Structure 1
Amino acid sequence: MFTIPGPGKYVREVELVKEIGAYVRSFGNSALMIGGKTALSVVESTITASLEKEGIENQGFVWYGGECSWSKVEELRTIVQDRKPEVLVAVGGGKAIDTVKAVAFAENLPLLAVPTIAATCAPATPIAIMYDDEGTFIEISHRSKAPNVVLVDTKVISAAPYRFLAAGIGDTLAKWFESSASVQKSQPTALNQSAVRLAEGLYQLLLEKGPSAIETIKQGNVDQAVNDVIDSIILISGSVSGYGGDDCRTAAAHAIYSGLTIFPEVHNTYHGEIVAFGILSQLVLEGKSEETIRELIAYYQKVELPYTLADMAITELSPEDWDRLGVVTVGIEDMDNMPFAVTPEMVVKAIQGADEIGRKVNQP
């Protein structure tokens, strides 16, 4: 048995970025920061001051490239090999952090993750979700390093648009629906059963605290509900995958997310937002009642998650588009984790069914 349950250390505090130099010093004397453009601009001056205070050589701030793709990973490896930092610092959202996780794995370097939004569990997992340079999903890669330390600055996260936190809630809700489906194909063990119970607890916590956390973040504030939701999205959600391993992986909701990324119009919708719609589609696929789906949509309305295709800017698909979506989606490895065989036709009917229920909810 082998599992990587999560990062080596997780720290969440207000204005934590001010202390990053001390955490870097535990692993080396020079650091290169790689991340998103906006994310780097938010923390660059603070990180610079902290590194200087600790006597850490600052190797610079580099944009990750805009997509978590293998070509971007190779470009960044060239920069790393040229500058020779002793520590890498990943800054930003899921794609930026996953990209640097792949670079750190390839270059065998210590890695600190500084998420500037709480939108996915990427900072706390050992896998990277890879895309092509245009943003279409390619694979889930294990050529990725779990961060040695995750540093969560709640002041930074609370200053980000609340939509990111809503997307994180969507992504984390999927842990319960997908793990409870995928575990059915496996023999019960202490690890996978614990993972499913953890996922169910996450689901209940988000139902209880999610709407309050969104309202608090909208006001630019942080309270215990916000802290709990952030920890759930980043750390505890990642731990479900860490403990459950291949028995509790992503399933139809994420496969449908990946399938929908073939349409360029959806690329302005965040990962967790698309996954949230994928959950509704998975419930249709599983034959759940319309009442059950409507109950979840009622929660989506409270936290502002999409529940129709139009909410994600998909307004019209041709028969050829639907056919391609079905074929692509069943080809995603996540779909293999469902406890029954899924055909392209089943996927199309599930997505159309979820969209129809969502549109009926909107009718007066």
Structure 2
Amino acid sequence: MFVTVGPGQYHRKTGLLSDAGLYIKKLGTTAVLIGGNTSRQVIEGPLRQSLSEHGITLKQSLWFGGESSQTNINRLIEQLKNENFDVLIAAGGGKALDTVKAAAYYLNKPLVAIPTIAATCAAATPICILYSDEGEFLKIGRNSKVPELVLVDTNIILDAPVRYLIAGIGDTLAKWFETKCSIKKASPNAINQTAIAIAGQLYQTLIKSGTKAVSSIHEQKLTNELNDIIDAIILVSGSVSGYGGDDCRTAAAHAIYSGLTIFPEIHDTYHGEIVAFGILAQLCMEGTAEEEVKALINYYQQVGLPYTLQQMAIKSLTNDQWKELGEITVTIEDMANMPFEVTPEMVITSVRQADKIGTDMLAIV
């Protein structure tokens, strides 16, 4: 039995960035920062100061490239393979973190993750999601490193646009709906049963505290609910995959997300927002009662998640586009985790059904 449960250490507190050097110095005395342009603008000044206070030199600050693509990973590896430094620091959202996780794997360097938004569990997982240079999903990459250290400054999350936290809630909701589905194919054991228990608790935390956490950012107030949701999205969500391994994987919700990325108009919709719609389609695919789907949509309405294709900028699809969506979606490896065989026609039917239920509810809001 082998599992990678999560990062070596996880620290979350207000103002943590000013103490970053205290934690990072255990990994070396020279560092390279890689991240998004906005993320580096937000953290580089205080990070550089904290590193300096603890005898660490920040040798370079690099843009990750904008997409978690093999092109950008290769470019970073080429840039850094002959450089002399001790530790990589990744900053930003999921795509930035995943890109640096892959680069760290090939460069064999210790990795520190500083998520600047709470939108995915990328900081706590040993995989990276690979996209084309244009943003179309390609595959799940296994040549990726789980960070030795994750540093979360609550002030940074609080100052980020609330839409990122909402997307994180959507992505984390999928842990419950997909895990309880994919585990049906596995033989029960202590580890995968722990994963499903964590997923169930995650769901309860999201339902209990999600709306208040979103309000906390709107009101710019740090609350226990916001702290709980941040930890749930960034850390605890990743541990479900860590404990569950191949028994508790993403399923139809993420496959439908990946399929929908073939449409360029959806690229301005965040990962967790599309996954949230994918959950609704998965529930329809499983034959879930319409009232249960509507109850989940009620929660989406409270926190601000999309529940129709129109809300994700997909106004209409031609018959050929529907066919392409169905055919591509069933080839995504996530779909193989469903406990029954899924056909392109089933994808089309479930997406249409979810969209109709959501559109009917949109009309009465």
What corresponds to 2:267 in structure 1? 267
Give the distance between the partners of 2:352 and 2:336, measured in 1 at CA: 21
Counterpart residue identity of residue 285, structure 1:
M
What corresponds to 1:13 in structure 2? 13
Give the distance between the partners of 1:43 and 1:63, measured in 2 at CA: 13
Give the distance between the partners of 1:111 and 1:363, measured in 2 at CA: 47
Give the distance between the partners of 2:157 and 2:120, measured in 1 at CA: 13
Give the distance between the partners of 2:11 and 2:288, measured in 1 at CA: 39
Q: How does 1:181-196 map to 2 (within 5 A)?
A: 181-196=181-196
Counterpart residue identity of residue 161, structure 2:
P
- Percent sequence identity is 54
Give the distance between the partners of 2:221 and 2:178, measured in 1 at CA: 32
Counterpart residue identity of residue 318, structure 1:
T
Q: Secondary structure at the match of 1:109?
A: coil
What corresponds to 2:59 in structure 1? 59
Give the distance between the partners of 2:300 and 2:281, measured in 1 at CA: 14
- Does the 8 Å contact 1:93/1:115 carry over to 2? yes
- Does the 8 Å contact 1:105/1:144 carry over to 2? yes
CA RMSD of aligned residues (A): 0.7
Q: Secondary structure at the match of 2:27?
A: coil
Counterpart residue identity of residue 244, structure 2:
G
- Does the 8 Å contact 1:326/1:345 carry over to 2? yes
Q: How does 1:207-218 map to 2 (within 5 A)?
A: 207-218=207-218
What corresponds to 1:251 in structure 2? 251
Say how many residue pairs are matched: 364
Give the distance between the partners of 1:85 and 1:320, measured in 2 at CA: 51
State the 4+ residue runs in structure 1 displaced beyond 3 angstroms: none
Give the distance between the partners of 1:71 and 1:23, measured in 2 at CA: 31
Deviation at 1:79, TM superposition (A): 1.8
Counterpart residue identity of residue 190, structure 1:
A
2:44 aligned with 1:72 = no
What corresponds to 2:197 in structure 1? 197
Q: Secondary structure at the match of 1:11?
A: strand
- Give the TM-score normalised by the residue count of structure 2: 0.99
2:243 aligned with 1:240 = no
Q: Secondary structure at the match of 1:83?
A: coil
- Give the TM-score normalised by the residue count of structure 1: 0.99
Q: Secondary structure at the match of 2:279?
A: helix
Counterpart residue identity of residue 340, structure 1:
F
Give the distance between the partners of 2:318 and 2:68, measured in 1 at CA: 29
Q: Secondary structure at the match of 2:31?
A: strand
What corresponds to 2:352 in structure 1? 352
Give the distance between the partners of 1:82 and 1:204, measured in 2 at CA: 48
Give the distance between the partners of 1:52 and 1:237, measured in 2 at CA: 33
Deviation at 1:362, TM superposition (A): 1.8
Give the distance between the partners of 2:331 and 2:153, measured in 1 at CA: 38
What corresponds to 1:156 in structure 2? 156
What corresponds to 1:362 in structure 2? 362
Q: Which moves more between the two structures, 47-56 or 344-353?
A: 47-56
Q: Which moves more between the two structures, 177-186 or 14-23?
A: 14-23
Give the distance between the partners of 1:273 and 1:105, measured in 2 at CA: 29
Give the distance between the partners of 1:65 and 1:103, measured in 2 at CA: 12
Q: Secondary structure at the match of 1:34?
A: strand
Q: Residue by residue, what CA displacement relative to the aligned partner does 1:198-242 show, whole Å, maximum 9, x if unpaired? A: 101100110010000000111122110000000000110000000
Give the distance between the partners of 1:37 and 1:159, measured in 2 at CA: 16
Q: Secondary structure at the match of 2:85?
A: coil
Structure 2 residue runs of 5 or longer lacking an equivalent are none
What corresponds to 2:97 in structure 1? 97
Give the distance between the partners of 1:170 and 1:250, measured in 2 at CA: 13
Counterpart residue identity of residue 16, structure 1:
L
What corresponds to 1:315 in structure 2? 315
Q: Residue by residue, what CA displacement relative to the aligned partner does 1:306-355 show, whole Å, maximum 9, x if unpaired? A: 00000100001111100000011000000000000000000000000000
Give the distance between the partners of 1:222 and 1:330, measured in 2 at CA: 42
- Does the 8 Å contact 1:31/1:59 carry over to 2? yes
